[in-house]
Amino acid sequence: MARRKKADVNTSAFIGMVNRYLAEKNLTPAEFARVAKVEHPALSRLLSDEHRRPEPEMVVSIADAIKQPVWAVAVAAGYPFKSPGMPSMEDERLMLLIQADPEIRTVIERYYQETSPEVRESLLLLATAILNHRRPERDQSSG
């Protein structure tokens, strides 16, 4: 598995968001890890390296723990969204795809920001089709 170059992401806003919450609630990172139901070593690595992006699952766990919108935490963590408030339909579809499949996540993160809006729509449609094609039928007993 190829690792992304560290310079590709800056999560200082995410680190600041978490650190402000820790200070406000007077929590240690270890205590917060238990509250957020994340592994303490993984959280420590994220908080000490502004070029390490949390996995989408951790973004959701941390957003729930600090009572912030997932979108705001995802944007702070360097995910390719533009709307930290109410997500657009495009942002919502992109987040679902990013969460669903690591291979799709890699492709989308690499090319999404480099494409025009028209090509972005095609990229989302293609990724959705690939994801749907990979899923087994939900109810194979009927028929």
pLDDT along the chain (143 residues), means of 10: 58 94 96 96 95 91 91 84 58 70 72 72 67 50 43
Q: What is the pLDDT of residue 119?
A: 72
pLDDT the model gives residue 4:
46
Number of domains comprising the chain: 2
Full DSSP string of 65-104: HHT--HHHHHHHTT-S-S-SSSPPHHHHHHHHHHHH-HHH
Clarify whether residues 58 and 109 are in a common domain. Answer: no
User: Which pLDDT value is given to residue 131?
Assistant: 61
Query: Domain holding 45: CATH number?
Result: 1.10.260.40
**What is the reported pTM?**
0.57
70 shares a domain with 114: no
pLDDT of residue 71: 79
- The first and second tokens of residue 134, run together, are 């990979």
Instruction: Write down which residue in 60, 79, 98 finishes a domain.
Output: 79
Provide the pLDDT for residue 67. 92
- Show the CA angle centred on residue 105, arms to residues 102 and 111, nearest 5°: 145
What domain range is 53 assigned to? 8-79
Query: CB count, 10 Å around CB of 95?
Result: 20
DSSP at 26: T
Distance CA 32, CA 18 (A): 9
Question: Is 139 within the bounds of a domain?
Answer: yes
pLDDT of residue 88: 64
